[in-house]
Amino acid sequence: MSRTWTLQEVKQHNTSSSCWVVIKDKVYDVTEFLPEHPGGSKIILKYAGRDATAVYEPIHPLDALDKNLPPDKHLGSLDTSTIAALKKERDTRKKTQDELRVEREQRRKPAINRILSLRDMEEVALKVMSHKVMAYYLSAADDEITSNENSRAFSRFFFHPRVLRPISQVDTSTTILGYKSAIPVLASGAGLAQLGHPLGEANITRGCGRTNIIQMVSSHASLSSSEIAATRVSPEQPLFFQLYKHRDNEIAERRVREVVELGYNAIFLTVDAPVSANRERDIRAPFELEDQEREAQAQELGEKQQTAGETSREPGNAETEIEGEVNLLGTAGALVASVDLGMTFKETIPWLRSITKLPIVIKGIQCVADAVLATEAGVDGILLSNHGGRQLEYSLPPLEVLYRIRKERPDVFEKLEVYIDGGIRRGTDVLKALCLGAKAVGLGRAFLYAQSAYGEAGVVQTVRILQREIILGMRLLGVTSVNELVPGLVERMSWQPILARL
Amino acid sequence: MSRTWTLQEVKQHNTSSSCWVVIKDKVYDVTEFLPEHPGGSKIILKYAGRDATAVYEPIHPLDALDKNLPPDKHLGSLDTSTIAALKKERDTRKKTQDELRVEREQRRKPAINRILSLRDMEEVALKVMSHKVMAYYLSAADDEITSNENSRAFSRFFFHPRVLRPISQVDTSTTILGYKSAIPVLASGAGLAQLGHPLGEANITRGCGRTNIIQMVSSHASLSSSEIAATRVSPEQPLFFQLYKHRDNEIAERRVREVVELGYNAIFLTVDAPVSANRERDIRAPFELEDQEREAQAQELGEKQQTAGETSREPGNAETEIEGEVNLLGTAGALVASVDLGMTFKETIPWLRSITKLPIVIKGIQCVADAVLATEAGVDGILLSNHGGRQLEYSLPPLEVLYRIRKERPDVFEKLEVYIDGGIRRGTDVLKALCLGAKAVGLGRAFLYAQSAYGEAGVVQTVRILQREIILGMRLLGVTSVNELVPGLVERMSWQPILARL
Amino acid sequence: MSRTWTLQEVKQHNTSSSCWVVIKDKVYDVTEFLPEHPGGSKIILKYAGRDATAVYEPIHPLDALDKNLPPDKHLGSLDTSTIAALKKERDTRKKTQDELRVEREQRRKPAINRILSLRDMEEVALKVMSHKVMAYYLSAADDEITSNENSRAFSRFFFHPRVLRPISQVDTSTTILGYKSAIPVLASGAGLAQLGHPLGEANITRGCGRTNIIQMVSSHASLSSSEIAATRVSPEQPLFFQLYKHRDNEIAERRVREVVELGYNAIFLTVDAPVSANRERDIRAPFELEDQEREAQAQELGEKQQTAGETSREPGNAETEIEGEVNLLGTAGALVASVDLGMTFKETIPWLRSITKLPIVIKGIQCVADAVLATEAGVDGILLSNHGGRQLEYSLPPLEVLYRIRKERPDVFEKLEVYIDGGIRRGTDVLKALCLGAKAVGLGRAFLYAQSAYGEAGVVQTVRILQREIILGMRLLGVTSVNELVPGLVERMSWQPILARL
Amino acid sequence: MSRTWTLQEVKQHNTSSSCWVVIKDKVYDVTEFLPEHPGGSKIILKYAGRDATAVYEPIHPLDALDKNLPPDKHLGSLDTSTIAALKKERDTRKKTQDELRVEREQRRKPAINRILSLRDMEEVALKVMSHKVMAYYLSAADDEITSNENSRAFSRFFFHPRVLRPISQVDTSTTILGYKSAIPVLASGAGLAQLGHPLGEANITRGCGRTNIIQMVSSHASLSSSEIAATRVSPEQPLFFQLYKHRDNEIAERRVREVVELGYNAIFLTVDAPVSANRERDIRAPFELEDQEREAQAQELGEKQQTAGETSREPGNAETEIEGEVNLLGTAGALVASVDLGMTFKETIPWLRSITKLPIVIKGIQCVADAVLATEAGVDGILLSNHGGRQLEYSLPPLEVLYRIRKERPDVFEKLEVYIDGGIRRGTDVLKALCLGAKAVGLGRAFLYAQSAYGEAGVVQTVRILQREIILGMRLLGVTSVNELVPGLVERMSWQPILARL
């Protein structure tokens, strides 16, 4: 079905009864898909009969169209002259304020060897991203309190360092589910890496391969599981798969079998993000960009007295626009639309066990009681996580959950491997978690930032920084292997230190 | 007694021995009322023989004149030409700085669908109000510490979320005193809504009706109890009545019988605001406006070196003005002037019970001991409230009182329904209160803000935001009905998270 | 010895072997006094042979010269033409930046009825004072931490208010050592009131008399004990005397007998300020004024590139000025120079008891152990005080000491009256102290500020504000007399509320 | 081997196979030293064949070349005309922005008698230093949290001052390891003092001698141990030696015997800094200076639109510079390169004891367990220290370690002398440590700052300030000798006061 179209022809199909859109010069009939679109039909109808590439690309996985539209709705391409015209239009299009800002920041970006800490990396990354991507990566639930507290929790733990112990040889390596890792750090699953860098998750895969740590690949990666598997530095490089279980067991099973086949080495079943959360920073980003542009235009016109939004709006009519184009699901909303809301310890774990012999880890345990249930369900590990503060506001910081398991149910550590993620920025954070019983810690956004700022090199630099900090910390604690990191080396304070940077 | 008057005639009566005022083109003889005016006679005498509409309107309930002045003091209207002259004077009057600011902010007001949270709503509302109304709505006791702490108390409670539980069907509804409510939220009594929007409390009544939550109507509503009852979306829409008991039992009884007759469904006896409190922000507002105007005038005259207040005052003479026009009672002072200061558990509750069979709730319990006394007095419910921090500074935050009842006297929850209000901004706040034992929570100012910013649509949007947040929070906690919200799901921290916005 | 002198004659005596100074047109020979000057001889020698009035006046009690210089060193007056010349010089002298600022602020001072709280009063007072006086009144020990914590301690105590109790009649009065006080508030001893207002302590005496509270008169008052006694509104107005015991028992006894004779009603023996403390804000004030003037001059000369201190100083020579004109004792240093450093419970209290039958109160108890020793010494009361944070930095806040006495040794309250001062700003602060067992609270700086800003009227306004706040607080707590203020009405929180203003 | 060279000749040797450098007009062949350079060979090669004085001087001890290069690599001097040419080049070199700033600040420096507190001193010192030196002195580990917490720990301890005790005679003196000290304060070892002042550690030695306190001399002093010994004010002035044990026992032994010979009186074995830590402020300083200069140049050229780093860099190529000139070891990195990483309580202490009869103190104990091990090892004292927060981030503040020893193992105080350093700024800090059981406290950076700002006079002023504060504090606590400072005089609060300055 590969004929070509002119924009004129496409333009006819601009209603809900016949709705075509152009994406990357291809023409699609999305009429029947309208009611199924997780982000609502309204946003599609806005682009009915038009080129939607610019709004489509940054918020959809690459294979979304193939997965969601039957082949007969792929109507073909635009004709060559239309394509040329569209390209010219794009090339001569005036850049937005935000695009100009990003270009400026890219020029100012420091040399990578000046990146001394993960916070330096984050700072650079957030500057060189578009406002929309920044808002998506950075955003967390509601007022982003849990996101901040995840990190602050570490600052309440101080060390009891031991001196006069031999420390010349330090070994930072450990195993995770039996796989060797150079440092007790995991690249936690985090989706849509191509928003930050054209090579996306491949940067993380190769960076982890080069530094000998393990990547947990998100179901929501911009690249497919097979593309990522193919990008490994060697066939032995382990990969873990972060599963969002589809509500349809058959589809879910297919997904699991696919990654088993591809040689993935463990399944991390995600349980803390069954539904799309309230990430206001992300939802708000489009308004803010609109306002920014409007202000810039107004200034240009010398109409300085007309401030944002003043022009066309009559007082009072704002009240009537109850339904509009605000996408409350945010960038990531569509991604979890098909997640199974009926999962249970009793059924889901045995079901998964029946499909694969791979180690199973539950990702998203948030309290002691569920950690105990996980040991009873017989999984191989649990990842204490509140999804980086992106799901339930006021979920206890994972380090605090770990601390409660250590105090209330230390037997959990003997029955499965415990990991945590959320808020880790420093080698000392890693060491604190290990002292309390964690086998390894996960970092999610840190690797997204690293690859967004410097691609694969950023990922390598991130691991190197952590390794250097971990070695230094172990020496100054008086230990030479991760097994020596014991509860007695840390103490939880009743006070909170003052942090220069949160 | 309906003759007409000229301003010239009125002007003769400008002393305390004969004091007439014009309000909305009507002429009143207030001479005998002077000593009874809760705000003091001085403020009235300032307008003796003049038009007092502008200062009268924003701070008096609509029926205040009818209730307080005998018919023979309603002297009639101004004559037509005087009315026309006054109108012209008003129309050509130069706008104040504050009026100009409000007009500017009204034009900038965002579309309502961009209001994502109750704090967004509050922010818009506070901007589009006059300074005086803002000061009245926002003001709280003394340094407004309790008002802030009410809200901060919630931030000390974190969740222990449960995972791997079926959450596809979530029911947020509950009953309050047997009446169905779509979410466990009550529109708490809050007076003078017309200060913020011309339709006043009717916005709340209709908004609640449309979203199926219950409104508690204030004794100090700008509209009368019957007007509000008449505005319901259906005759079945429940309404609760917030009673400020008059010191004269007969008047009080009349008031109760009136609302019973009108079909109100419960009586909330207010006990935390027997006297007018110290709300400095409110008291200060008139000075601030004066200073603002003076500064604007000075600037206009190019007299920039003459700063506010410098012009006419000799050093030292400030000391002599001990008595002046400062109204320490503030906007709301007059409203509570007749409240019964002799109420007791032993006498007042049985008295009320003897008048009506409606459920009785005590609004304003602030400690465990009084919660226990309330169970002994046999009321149907208690509303833990410190009047939004507007009465006694350093009254314990209601959530802390709730927490103490849960720990010290959990039997209270079995004997009556417990509600709390004060400081609630988020769905997670509602869920925390319910986990600790509350049957529902009240929001007062939130609805005043909502209707001030967007009228009825604002009220609807507020309920929708809360409902969306509650559904999301329940799912992420692993619960599907409000009955499953139990103490084990929350934990009180010894630390205080950092809040971006208080 | 009353001849007259010319400046020319005085000028000859400008060395340490013959050192004359002029103060208020009188000539003094201070040669022999030089080594005894508590502030050091250097500062005097700087003015040898010159008019020292401007630097002398603001930091010395009025009768200092008479007390310290024998009559034969009072050499007489300047001659008339010299006096006239000096006066002309003063009158035509250019005003300093700080004097201009004070004049500006005096013109801007709000009418007194706009002073709604003690903090409002403080704010105005600090603005209308000279920088030097502000620094002296406001300054506290070291980094002023204790001074702040005194006040912050109150904010950790919240109320358990009781409702449904009869509150129409409220009595705020109490007795202090048997003397009636309209509210449980004492004007605590605070010296040098004339620095803030020409009438000095008389403002406080008359203000207290008019509002029926009791003044404790400082040994360091600008007015003499007899002047203050004479200024009472009636002979029955009680006055307490704050004694700094002189190291010479005879002098000390004379002092006590003098005030007994004058009709004072109690002796408050000061024990928390035996030596001059480190009040850096006060010590620094002269430098800051110097720098301010130098900068102003430089700007005037258009020499904007020459910043403060740059002109005349060679790099490095700063190191040599180890000894200079810095007065480490500060404004108040001289005042305590003769205090007895050998006082003990065992000897001093019986000695004092042997001289007078007046009630004895120890002012400056700072821990539970000393409170107990005071009961054993048989005094009539103790004032828990750390001298407003002006003496030992990190002395426990008085409210915390009171709280510890309540918890550890409640028997103390049965044996003597306990008062506290330090950090009290609100009626609720007073009520908290009374709930914990205090009989009354003292306010020191609050009254200095009040009289500095508005003279006697300021003192009256301060008492009225407190009384209004106390009445309101008692009603909202459900109590009608100070006896009903019991420990159960307050609770100490483990958290600290956020304070808008410290 | 003393011939002379021209720059032309030196320039030939600019590769790793023949690498010469010029330092202070002397020529050195460092080819064979390249692989041994603790800071890496890269930084040296950057100056191969060139004058490296400017980068060499501020970060190397004076005798580094003699110690590290065999005599035959000292090739001789530059010839006279080359020296003259280089000098001219230096003299006419344009000053950097930072040099200009330092000159400006030196002119503004206040007279030393205006320095009232240690914080005043620090403030001045940090201003008059070059940015690089400031960064080195001030820098601490990671985010400098422990450095701040060391100081904040003191603020949680409040006093229970005692009154009515005789306090006229106060003796602040004590003994440390049997040596008399005027106040219980030690000048703790701190290296590279010449970075701050040309006379370096000699300022501290003489200042301590003049005020009768004891200096602990760092292994990393800019002056040699013998130079410092020679600078004492009398042969009796005690000196302690801070030993960084060399990994080669023979070299280490030689070092100890050397200082024993020179008359040093005790050995402080450093155990908290075996490796170079992560001091980002220090590492970052060179970049910041570069950026500052680039910006200044750009501005000068009127190229204001070209911001720092924009000019020459293409977007993306930043990623490739993984290895560059960033010196992660920082200024002090080279200093600890040879420290023994195999030290143990069991072997190292007996080894040291076998070499010398001097008292042995372990410097850097950071937990109770190691304090106990130290008593078992039989040393004479321990210095609780986390190296001023410069080594392990989140090491417990020394005062908290002291507090835990007091609570858990008070027997430690009977077996050896306990000192602490880190975060001490005030006399009250000293008193708190002594109340908890410390025999004396150490100050490190405070003395570096003092001598940097005012040389020897600064050191004297620092001791005088502390002594004045200690006397005052003792009097106000009611004690007259250090023995009376007991645990009951302090209490640890659960709250944290607000500090104006950290």
What residues in C contact B145, CB-CB < 8 Å? 155, 497-500
pLDDT of residue D222: 84
pLDDT of residue A330: 74
How many residues belong to chain D? 502
- Chain D within 8 Å of C145 (Cβ-Cβ)? yes
**DSSP for residue B110:** P
Question: How do beta strands D239-243 and D266-270 pair?
Answer: parallel
Q: What percent of chain C has pLDDT over 70?
A: 92
CB contact under 8 Å between A495 and D156, yes or no, is yes
CB contact under 8 Å between D167 and C274, yes or no, is yes
Of the residues A163, A435, A436, the best mutation for testing chain D's interface (the one with the most D CB atoms within 10 Å of its CB) is A163
CB contact under 8 Å between D152 and A107, yes or no, is no
The CATH code of the domain at D172-276+341-484 is: 3.20.20.70
Q: Are B262 and B229 in contact (CB under 8 A)?
A: yes
What residues in B contact A396, CB-CB < 8 Å? 158-160, 491
Of the residues C163, C434, C468, C502, the best mutation for testing chain B's interface (the one with the most B CB atoms within 10 Å of its CB) is C163
Q: Are A384 and A371 in contact (CB under 8 A)?
A: yes
The domain limits of chain B are: 3-92, 141-276+334-492
Active-site choice (D272, D282, D421, D429): D272
CA B62/CA A213 separation, integer angstroms: 72
The encoded tokens of residue B377 equal 């007095």
Report CA Rg, chain B: 24
Q: B residues 194-223 near C, CB within 8 Å?
A: none
Other Cβ atoms within 10 Å of A23 Cβ, number? 19
Closest alpha carbon within chain D to A457: D319
Mean pLDDT computed over B395-414: 98
To the nearest whole Å, the CA of D158 is away from the closest chain C CA by 5
Amino acid at C106: Q
- Chain D within 8 Å of C305 (Cβ-Cβ)? no
Amino acid at C327: N
Of the candidates C107, C114, C164, the beta carbon closest to that of B326 is on C114
Give the CATH number of domain C143-276+334-492; options: 3.40.50.10860, 3.30.420.40, 3.40.50.10320, 3.20.20.70.
3.20.20.70
For B137, B444, B453, the CA distances from B122, given in Å and listed in that order, are: 11, 12, 8
For A356, C200, C201, C212, C393, the CA distances from C194, given in Å and listed in that order, are: 89, 4, 7, 23, 27
Characterize A373-398 residue by residue with b for buried, 16 or more Cβ atoms within 10 angstroms of its Cβ, and e for exposed.
Answer: bbbebebbbbbbbbbbbbbbbbbbbb
Q: Are B136 and B192 in contact (CB under 8 A)?
A: yes
Q: Are A256 and A351 in contact (CB under 8 A)?
A: no
CA D362/CA D344 separation, integer angstroms: 12
Other Cβ atoms within 10 Å of C353 Cβ, number? 15
More confident residue, C44 or B183: B183
The pLDDT tens digits for D56-92 are 776 666 677 777 788 888 998 999 888 888 888 888 8
Quote the mean pLDDT of chain B.
Answer: 90
CA B85/CA D284 separation, integer angstroms: 74
Q: Are C151 and C388 in contact (CB under 8 A)?
A: no
CB contact under 8 Å between D275 and A475, yes or no, is yes
CB-count exposure of residue B476 (10 Å: 0-12, 13-18, 19+): buried
pLDDT of residue C62: 62
Residue pointed to by tokens 């249930």: A373
CB contact under 8 Å between A457 and D319, yes or no, is yes
CB contact under 8 Å between B161 and A392, yes or no, is yes
Closest CA to A424 of A370, A365, A470: A470
The pLDDT tens digits for A349-381 are 999 999 999 999 999 999 999 999 999 999 999
Of the residues D269, D271, D319, D386, the best mutation for testing chain A's interface (the one with the most A CB atoms within 10 Å of its CB) is D319
Of the candidates D271, D313, D400, the beta carbon closest to that of A107 is on D313
pLDDT of residue B314: 41
Of the candidates A152, A307, A365, the beta carbon closest to that of B498 is on A152
Q: Are A227 and A202 in contact (CB under 8 A)?
A: yes
- Chain D within 8 Å of A460 (Cβ-Cβ)? yes
CB contact under 8 Å between C280 and D116, yes or no, is yes
Q: Are C211 and C228 in contact (CB under 8 A)?
A: no
Q: Residues 6 or more apart from B314 whose CB is under 8 A from it? A: none
The encoded tokens of residue B36 equal 């009874």
Of the candidates B307, B328, B367, the beta carbon closest to that of C161 is on B367
Query: What own/partner pairs with CB < 8 Å and gap ≥ 24 does A98-105 have?
Result: A98/A130, A98/A131, A98/A132, A98/A289, A98/A292, A99/A130, A102/A128, A102/A129, A102/A130, A103/D315, A104/D310
Residue B272 annotated to the active site: yes
Of the candidates D344, D392, D494, the beta carbon closest to that of A159 is on D392
CATH superfamily of A118-276+334-492: Aldolase class I (3.20.20.70)
CB contact under 8 Å between D275 and A457, yes or no, is no
More confident residue, B369 or B65: B369
Amino acid at C242: Q
More confident residue, C454 or B61: C454
CB contact under 8 Å between A499 and D152, yes or no, is no
CA C338/CA C37 separation, integer angstroms: 11
Q: Residues 6 or more apart from B129 whose CB is under 8 A from it? A: B102, B137, B195, B196, B452
Active-site choice (D387, D403, D419, D449): D387
Q: Which of B216-230, C15-29, C156-170, C308-322 has the lowest mean pLDDT?
A: C308-322
The pLDDT tens digits for B4-60 are 999 889 999 999 999 999 998 899 999 988 887 766 787 788 889 988 887 777 666
- Mark out the alpha helices in A38-130 (DSSP H runs): 41-45, 53-56, 64-68, 80-92, 97-108, 118-128
DSSP symbols for A425-446: -SHHHHHHHHHHT-SEEEESHH
Closest alpha carbon within chain A to D397: A158
Quote the mean pLDDT of chain D.
Answer: 90
Quote the mean pLDDT of chain A.
Answer: 90
Of the residues D112, D476, D486, the best mutation for testing chain C's interface (the one with the most C CB atoms within 10 Å of its CB) is D476
Characterize B229-259 residue by residue with b for buried, 16 or more Cβ atoms within 10 angstroms of its Cβ, and e for exposed.
Answer: bebbeeeebbbbbbbbbbeeeeebbebbeeb
CA B261/CA B268 separation, integer angstroms: 16
pLDDT of residue C115: 97
Give the dihedral sign, CA D325/D326/D329/D333. positive
Closest CA to C133 of C245, C68, C69, C222: C222
Closest alpha carbon within chain B to A156: B495
For A12, A33, A36, A77, A87, the CA distances from A21, given in Å and listed in that order, are: 11, 12, 16, 11, 17
Q: Are B351 and B378 in contact (CB under 8 A)?
A: no
Q: D residues 471-500 near A, CB within 8 Å?
A: 494, 496
Of the candidates D152, D307, D494, the beta carbon closest to that of A494 is on D494
The pTM score is 0.93
The pLDDT tens digits for C232-263 are 999 999 999 999 999 999 999 999 999 999 99
To the nearest whole Å, the CA of A69 is away from the closest chain B CA by 26
The pLDDT tens digits for A62-96 are 667 777 788 888 998 999 888 888 888 888 888 99
CB contact under 8 Å between D164 and C394, yes or no, is no
For B385, D193, D229, D230, the CA distances from D226, given in Å and listed in that order, are: 75, 16, 5, 6
Say how many CA atoms lie within 13 Å of C201 toward its Cβ.
30
Chains contacting B with at least 3 CB pairs below 8 Å? A, C
Question: How do beta strands A18-23 and A26-29 pair?
Answer: antiparallel
Question: How do beta strands C74-78 and C3-5 pair?
Answer: parallel
Residue pointed to by tokens 């329904």: B417
Q: Residues 6 or more apart from B290 whose CB is under 8 A from it? A: none
Question: Nearest 5°: phi and psi at A152?
Answer: -60, -30
Of the candidates D162, D426, D457, the beta carbon closest to that of C142 is on D426
Q: What is the pLDDT along chain D (502 residues), one digit of tens a residue?
A: 568 999 889 999 999 999 999 998 899 999 988 887 766 787 788 889 988 887 777 666 667 777 778 888 899 899 988 888 888 888 888 899 999 999 999 999 999 999 999 999 999 999 999 999 999 999 999 999 999 999 999 999 999 999 999 999 999 999 999 999 999 999 998 788 888 998 999 999 999 999 999 999 998 888 889 999 999 999 999 999 999 999 999 999 999 999 999 999 999 999 999 998 999 999 999 888 888 888 888 888 775 454 444 444 444 444 544 334 677 777 766 667 789 999 999 999 999 999 999 999 999 999 999 999 999 999 999 999 999 999 999 999 999 999 999 999 999 999 999 999 999 999 999 999 999 999 999 999 999 999 999 999 999 999 999 999 999 999 999 999 999 999 999 999 988 898 865 4
Give the dihedral sign, CA A233/A237/A243/A246. positive
Class at the top of the CATH hierarchy for domain B141-276+334-492: alpha beta
CA B344/CA B245 separation, integer angstroms: 12
Give the CATH number of domain A3-92; options: 3.10.120.10, 3.30.9.10, 3.40.50.460, 3.40.50.1820.
3.10.120.10
What residues in C contact B364, CB-CB < 8 Å? 163
Of the candidates A106, A468, A475, the beta carbon closest to that of D315 is on A106
Residue D244 annotated to the active site: yes
Given phi > 0 = left and psi -120 to 50 = alpha, else beta, which region is B478?
left
Q: Are A242 and A218 in contact (CB under 8 A)?
A: yes
Q: Residues 6 or more apart from A49 whose CB is under 8 A from it? A: A10, A11, A12, A13, A14, A19, A20, A21
- Mark out the alpha helices in A304-391 (DSSP H runs): 345-355, 368-377
The pLDDT tens digits for A269-292 are 999 999 989 999 999 998 888 888
Residue C244 annotated to the active site: yes
The complex's ipTM?
0.91
Q: B residues 56-115 near A, CB within 8 Å?
A: 103, 106-114
pLDDT band at B93 (very low <50, low <70, confident <90, very high): confident
Chains B and C form CB pairs within 8 A to the count of: 155
Beta strand residue intervals within C91-173, DSSP E: 157-159
Of the residues A112, A152, A164, the best mutation for testing chain D's interface (the one with the most D CB atoms within 10 Å of its CB) is A164
What residues in B contact A305, CB-CB < 8 Å? none
How many residues belong to chain A? 502
Mean pLDDT computed over A444-453: 97
Beta-bridge partner residues of B50: B21
To the nearest whole Å, the CA of C166 is away from the closest chain B CA by 4
pLDDT at B500 over 90: no
Active-site choice (B28, B136, B137, B244): B244
To the nearest whole Å, the CA of C495 is away from the closest chain B CA by 8
Other Cβ atoms within 10 Å of D225 Cβ, number? 20
Question: How do beta strands B174-176 and B179-181 pair?
Answer: antiparallel
The encoded tokens of residue B79 equal 């004559």
CB-count exposure of residue A26 (10 Å: 0-12, 13-18, 19+): middle
* Secondary structure class of C497 (helix, strand, coil): coil
What residues in A contact B161, CB-CB < 8 Å? 272, 366-367, 386, 392, 395
